[in-house]
């Protein structure tokens, strides 16, 4: 009697292998979601430095899941939706709660309104990104990306706690200003460089490798301060690009 099961075994193995590959990027998304949830728990327990670090961990994992999906060619509609939901928790709800529990709650109504503005900005930013993904210039983000906005707020918390600075009235004002700035900038039309045109598969000059190595050494020397300064610079870089484009358009209009 012929064995009718044999011809189907290669197909079954291929299907199992294909499902395993599709699981890989979603595992990174799940890890990022866990980091965001962990940040919320630590903020509720008044462990703000651990909460801030968890936001940066979530940001790294969020960057990896998309690259893994592209490298393994396992992009899917499910993965895109799951990533957006994870981003809302990690870079919307978690940073807003951290900032509120850290010092904004001492400002009363203005404090929770500032935190809500950030959370609302992240939600609107993600919704706009999902609907405009095939419309806008991929070299630039429209508005500040939610991971960068979350890192800006988390970096402030990390730096202040690392230096042991007391949360005085001026610190509360600075925290509210950063939270509002990040929330509003996320829904602005200011262009921010996306770094998506960098091809990791392409050969790069030797100085680029040295630059990456130097950046890693610089960050490891003082992670809170260096990361905070990097994201402050990035958060204002979009306004610099916008200002340059605005001046050029005015000059062209005069000629």
* pLDDT tens per residue across span 138-151: 778 889 999 999 99
- Mean pLDDT (whole number) for 88-110: 95
Q: What number of CA atoms fall less than 13 Å from residue 159's CA on the CB side?
A: 17
Tell me if the domain spanning 12-196+226-254 has CATH number 3.40.50.2000.
no
- The yes-or-no verdict on residue 99 having pLDDT over 90 is yes
Closest CA to 84 of 152, 143, 29: 29
User: Where are the domains positioned within the chain?
Assistant: 12-196+226-254
Tokens of 41: 């728990």
When pLDDT is cut at 50, 70 and 90, the band that residue 1 belongs to is very low
Does the structure show a pLDDT above 80 at 126?
A: yes
Who wins on pLDDT, 185 or 199?
185
Examine the pLDDT at 198 and tell me if it is beyond 70.
no
Task: List Cβ neighbours of 49 (8 Å cut-off, separation of 6 or more).
Answer: 157, 158, 161, 162
Q: What is the pLDDT of residues 38-90, one digit of tens each?
A: 999 999 999 999 999 999 999 999 988 888 887 778 788 888 889 999 999 99
Q: Which long-range contacts (CB under 8 A, 24 or more apart) does 245-253 make?
A: 245/191
Residue 11 pLDDT > 50: no
Least confident range from 28-32, 94-98, 165-169, 191-195: namely: 165-169
Provide the β-strand partners of residue 140.
193
Residue 137 has pLDDT above 70, yes or no: no
Q: How much is the pLDDT for 4?
A: 41
Residues in the chain: 255
Most confident range (mean pLDDT) of 16-25, 94-103, 186-195 is 94-103
Asked if residue 235 has pLDDT above 80, the reply is yes
**pLDDT at residue number 136:** 63
Q: What does the pLDDT read at residue 255? A: 63
Backbone angles phi, psi at 138, to 5 degrees: -70, -15
H or E stretch at 91: none
Q: Are 61 and 28 in contact (CB under 8 A)?
A: yes
In whole angstroms, give the CA distance from residue 29 to residue 20.
15
Whole-structure pTM value? 0.84
Residues near 60 by beta carbon (within 8 Å), at least 6 away in sequence: none
């Amino acid at each position: 009697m012929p064995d009718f099961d044999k011809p189907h075994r290669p197909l079954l193995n291929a299907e199992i292998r294909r499902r395993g590959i599709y699981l890989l990027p979603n595992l990174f998304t799940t890890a990022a979601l866990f980091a965001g949830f962990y940040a919320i728990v630590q903020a509720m327990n008044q462990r703000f430095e651990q909460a801030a670090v968890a936001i940066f961990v979530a940001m790294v994992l969020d960057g990896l899941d998309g690259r893994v999906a592209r490298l393994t060619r396992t992009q899917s509609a499910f993965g895109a939706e799951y990533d957006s939901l994870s981003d809302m928790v990690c870079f919307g709800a978690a940073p807003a709660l951290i900032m509120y529990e850290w010092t904004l709650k001492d400002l009363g109504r203005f404090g929770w309104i500032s935190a809500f503005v950030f959370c609302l900005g992240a939600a609107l930013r993600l919704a706009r990104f999902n609907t405009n993904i095939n419309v806008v210039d991929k070299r630039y983000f429209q508005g500040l990306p939610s991971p960068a906005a979350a890192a800006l707020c988390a970096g402030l918390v990390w730096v202040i706690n690392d230096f042991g600075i007391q949360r005085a009235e001026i610190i509360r004002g600075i925290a509210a200003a950063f939270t509002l700035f990040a929330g509003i900038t996320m829904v602005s039309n200011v262009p921010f460089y996306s770094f998506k045109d960098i091809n990791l598969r392409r050969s790069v000059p030797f100085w680029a490798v040295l630059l990456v190595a130097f950046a890693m050494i610089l960050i490891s020397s003082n992670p809170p301060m260096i990361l905070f300064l990097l994201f402050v610079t990035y958060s204002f870089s979009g306004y610099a690009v916008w200002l340059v484009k605005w001046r050029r358009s005015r000059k062209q209009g005069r000629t």
